Amino acid sequence: MESSPSAIAPLLLRNLLTSLFFYADKPLVFLAEKHRLLQLLRCFLLSTFLFFLRLLPSLFPGLNSSVESYNYHFKTKRVDNYEPPLAGGGGGVGDSGVARALTQLLSIVNDIPVSSRKYEVVRSLAEKIIDENLLEGNETLREVNCAVLSAAFSRALSQLEAAVVIQGRSHGGGTGGDVKDGAAEKSDYYYYKNRLSRFLSAVKYYGDVVWQYGKSRDWQSRSGSSAEKLAAEVLWLAQKMAACGCSEEAICKWASASNLAWLALSAELRLQGSLVKVSAFLIKQAKDMGKVIDDRNILEQQRQTKMKMLISWMPLLCRASNGTDAPVLSINERAELEKILEEIIETLEQEDEQERVLSLWLHHFTHCPSSDWPNLRGCYTRWLNASRSLLLLQ
């Protein structure tokens, strides 16, 4: 079913207003922490705005129906009043019965709670289809797996970000500001205030998040699903993508999830542990990315992806590796990941990017008394010695 311009217009208006509101809210968060009156004013404005968003569907009856096709970019096929999303459209590997069946199964896995007796049935069936496609040894079936898994990963990641926001709101937090020092807060304040490019990114991100926020509230009330469940499914999907040879897509998406990484710093400990596991797995996958590629442009893009991965998720690794009652990773896993982190860092440009990553690591490593991992002291020393030698040569 195609969305008409008149149906999409209310959605665009909603996302634009939401994006502008959240962009304006960024500096207000900083000021509200200093002044009680501004904090009360911010709470009032936020409540009023969310109430306005809840009224939009009644003002524009076509909004909810148009959003499904607009947000997920899928065609739909009506079957007994249910419209399962298709894996793709207009031909190609996504436009097949196998792809549509796998897409529907992964969507159901994402939406129903683990406590449901149907959860394992549906997930096992999805795994069976993925594994059988691989066992066929056919490139087309492998591409079907990759296309459907990539779409499912994006969907789960988007819902995970929204669920973390909801969880933070319900616990009176969720801004991530409690883990930053004053200098970092001021830096963020001026960063968002002065950078137009960051504003444009914020428009896109917060529009998507608030829409997912509204969807996830209804979805969570129906299914009882949680951010921790979604994080576990993101890891499962990443593992399946790695088995199908398309882990690079998951790596890129996770590396770009900087807003989720920032929100995770103030999330519940169990959720933090789940996110550490996802990060650890994808960092391991990123180590071998580009080893058999000679194209310099592709290698440069992959290097930038690795850089984004480290910048986004290094703070969480430093702060959340201990878990609630046991370390999130085993001793061997920690040692292995430390070595991989050092290898990735040493492939970056020495003077600029290595310094940025290691400076970030040092800040969070030293400011988190409950954790002494990852210990990148050897890598830091090597960078410092190389920087000293370069200075002397100049």
- Domain contains 275: yes
CA distance to 101, 146, 241, per residue, from 98 (Å): 5, 12, 17
- Domain contains 132: yes
pTM passes above 0.85: no
Cα within 13 Å of Cα(38), Cβ side:
11
- Domain contains 35: no
- Domain contains 50: no
Tokens 């669920």 sit at which residue? 163
Long-range contacts of 214-217 (CB under 8 A, 24+ apart): 214/53, 214/54, 215/159, 215/162, 216/159, 216/162, 216/163, 216/166, 217/166
- Domain contains 108: yes
- Domain contains 53: no
- Domain contains 381: yes
**Residue-by-residue pLDDT tens, the chain, 394 positions:** 444 445 455 555 555 666 665 555 555 555 555 566 666 676 677 667 666 666 665 655 554 444 443 343 333 333 334 444 444 443 455 578 899 999 999 999 988 888 888 999 999 999 999 999 999 989 999 999 999 999 999 999 999 998 998 876 655 544 444 444 433 444 444 444 444 444 455 555 555 554 554 444 444 444 345 899 999 999 999 999 999 999 999 999 999 999 999 999 988 889 999 999 999 999 999 988 866 677 788 888 888 999 999 999 999 999 887 776 778 899 999 999 999 999 999 988 767 889 999 999 999 999 888 888 999 999 999 999 988 888 898 7
**Domain span including residue 206:** 73-393
- Measured in residues, the chain has a length of 394
Total of domains in the chain: 1
Beta bridge pairs of residue 79: 82
Structure tokens at 88: 């793709």
- Domain contains 334: yes
Q: What is the dihedral of CA 29, 35, 41, 45, to 10 degrees?
A: 0
